[in-house]
Structure 1
Amino acid sequence: MLCDAEGVKALGDAQVKDEAIEFASLMCSRLCHDLLSPVGALNNGLELLADEDDPALRKEYLSLLADGARASAEKLKFFRLAFGAAGGFGDRIDAGEVRASLDSLAGMSGKVAFGWVADCTTLDRSATRIVLNLGLIALDALVRGGRLDVGLEGGEIVVRAEGARLVLDGEVRRVLAGEALPTTSRTIGAVLASTVAERDGRTLLLQEEDGVLLLGASRV
């Protein structure tokens, strides 16, 4: 009978597994969405290159292919740190690698200046995930470019985005504010940052002013 203690436990375990599978599926959907553009550019470039005999145009297409390959590689490095299990890294991750990954992502559009101030040389896995996911949310909000600054001091995490037009997704905002919503591919980064922060004893920060978005995490 499913109403006995063993049956209730089985139902609970099944629900946890279903939620984990759904979370993993949504994360894969987000990654595929973000990688579709640079990988698609590679495919288009190869098709153009195959049909082109003009040396000048072939050189141009090869340059586009190089750009697409570089963007794909940088995004994969970022996602590995932000979403991956980080099994290949130790308990601590080089802060320089975290900085370089976020700097590279910010620089892809050519419209976002990046700043980094930190009083540490390494980050634990939880802080790494929080920093990168909040940074990604802030970058998504800078729809017309601007400036992204990250500050790490005394265990506090602050991500500041400033631009002529900031657009923070409404569901992402609600998740960061602590509201429980069904997870979607758009909110997966906010859900991950919120979950990791709570597990790590941190409280998320969300402030919006005219042209400025502040995100962060501090110890309770």
Structure 2
Amino acid sequence: MTHPIDSTEFASLLCSRLCHDLLSPVGALNNGLELMADETDPDMRQRCLDLLADSARTSANKLKFFRLAFGSAGGFGDAVPTHEARVAIEGMFAQTGRVKVGWMVGDDMLNKLAVKVLLNLSLIAGDALVRGGQLDVGAEKRPGVTEIVVRAEGPKLVLDPELRAALAGALPPEGLASRTAAAWMVRSLVTGRGGEIVLSAPGEPMLLFGASIPG
């Protein structure tokens, strides 16, 4: 069972998480610009341009992902094209070459809540693949319910115990931090609709998340 938390405090935790994730690529952009200002060698300038392009692409991919995962992307409608979710996940993980994304979502549209849950569970599972691996994402709409399954498998899986506790509803409000805010949000969104979250036990060879969302 989830517990109440001040909305302003919770929003600040999410903002801290987003700023933390964007700091690296934006910082790389700044470093690249500083190098360009002092560099005259053509080869080195090209390397700086490559660095800037990579950092700009990474920043854009993260912003697209966060817009769907935490914002109000999709306008004022109730549904979001699943293609947008797929592009966001692949931009976040697959383009690095370390994580291969398997997409098993047959529906063209999912409601906004389901998309947020799918993206955030994918983010948590993908981050657990510290040495890369396979990230499989599935969703299916059935009468009265949307089922979401996210599976991560790789040579080394590391899921922060506090993230696990937040997803399981076992983390008290005073234990919340920026790194656990997204997991807390997922739990709250799903249980608030009368749904449930399930996750594989610690020590399993693969990480498995499931969400069942009525409606």
Give yes or no for TM over 0.5. Answer: yes
Letter in 2 for 1:214: L
Aligned to 1:107: 94
Q: Which residue of 2 aligns with 1:8?
A: none
User: How many positions carry a matched residue from both structures?
Assistant: 204
TM-score for the superposition, normalised by structure 1: 0.88
Q: What is the correspondence of 1:160-179 to structure 2 with a 5 Å cutoff?
A: 160-179=151-170
1:122 pairs with 2:148: no
For 2:76 and 2:180, the matched residues in 1 are separated by 26
1:92 to 74, 79, 93: 79
Shift of 1:201: 2.4
Aligned to 2:197: 204
Whole-angstrom CA distance in 2 between matches of 1:122 and 1:66: 32
Name the CA distance, whole Å, in 2 between partners of 1:91 and 1:38: 32
SS at match of 1:216: strand
**Partner residue, 2:186:** 193
Relative to structure 1, the CA distance from residue 219 to residue 29 in structure 2 (aligned partners, 3 Å threshold; closer, same or farther) is closer
Q: Which moved more, 1:147-156 or 1:86-95?
A: 86-95
Gaps of 5+ in 2: none
Equivalent-residue separation in structure 2 for 1:22 and 1:119 (angstroms)? 37
Instruction: Give the TM-score normalised by structure 2.
Output: 0.90
- The correspondence for 2:70, drawn from 71, 83, 93, is 83
Residue equivalent to 1:6: none
CA distance in 2, matches of 1:108, 1:26: 27
Structure 1 residue 91: deviation in Å?
1.2
| Equivalent of 2:210 in 190, 201, 216 | 216
User: Larger radius of gyration, structure 1 or 2?
Assistant: 1
Show CA shifts across 1:183-213 (max 9, x none). 2101011011111111222200100453300
SS of aligned partner of 2:101: strand
After TM superposition, what 4+ stretches of structure 1 lie above 4 angstroms from structure 2? none
Change (3 A) 1:82 1:201: same
